[in-house]
A = this chain, B = another copy of it.
Amino acid sequence: MSEPIRVLLADDQALVRGALAALLSLEPDLTVVAEVGRGDEVVPEARRTAPDVALLDVEMPGLDGIAATAALRAALPTCRVLVVTTFGRPGYLRRAMEAGANGFVVKDTPARQLAEAVRRVHAGLRVVDPTLAAETLATGASPLTERETDVLRAARHGGTVADLAAALHLSEGTVRNHLSAAIGKTGARNRAEAVRIAEQNGWLLGD
């Protein structure tokens, strides 16, 4: 039998991270060689420990999992990436794949399948949650323009138009116009709903 597969774990919730480590450690052919809780710690730690596969959560402080995927692929091209996330948002899958991920799994897949997914990714295969794959094709990429995305992102916290205008250095009229466009494109009936829809589709990544 060959060397065990070296795995790096990245998840912001320490409890979940530790639990996943315990789960994977049950498999004789897998070793967890590193654990990190922030996206910006992924690359430094990967350089140090040279993992074969990195298991990255999408929701992380510092750098989200998608950005961390891109950074890791650039820094260590031989390291495979398996993205894991809580929410089955179609946009996440698309963005993850564009960033160079080798696999994508949502957190409500059965626990027994995770080790198998790691093995498949390590073997060079692509692993994609099948239910999500169909949905991704249906919803497609973001229809939002760059500025519209900026404005929606800023609107998440619930400020007034004046606040957004100040934060983005735009006139209030402009902000209203971008919001209006975003509302139209998302099919929403007001700002709050547009934010919710865009967020659910994963169109607001990048803080």
Contacts and interface: CB of A to CB of B under 8 A. Distances in A.
Given A12-B108, A109-B14, A157 B193 contact: yes
Interface stretch (A139-147, A166-174, A183-191): A183-191
Interface string A148-192: 000000010111100000000000000000000000000011111
Most buried by B among A22, A26, A105, A114: A22
A127 to B, nearest CB: 14
A21 B191 CA distance: 42
A14 B107 contact: yes
- Considering the complex of A and B, which 5 residue pairs feature the smallest CB-CB distances, nearest first? A18-B111, A158-B193, A19-B19, A158-B192, A22-B23
A108 B13 contact: yes
Please classify how large the interface on chain A is, using the bins under 10, 10 to 19, 20 to 34, 35 or more.
35 or more
A86 interface: yes
Contacts of A22: 19, 22-23, 25-26, 111
A20 interface: yes
A170 to B, nearest CB: 19
Contacts of A107: 13-16
A17 interface: yes
A47 to B, nearest CB: 25
A191 B108 CA distance: 32
Contact of A21 (B17, B111, B114, B190): B111
A15 B158 CA distance: 33
A112 interface: yes
Given A19-B111, A21-B111, A22-B111, A189 B14 contact: no
A196 interface: yes
A58 interface: no
A20 to B, nearest CB: 5
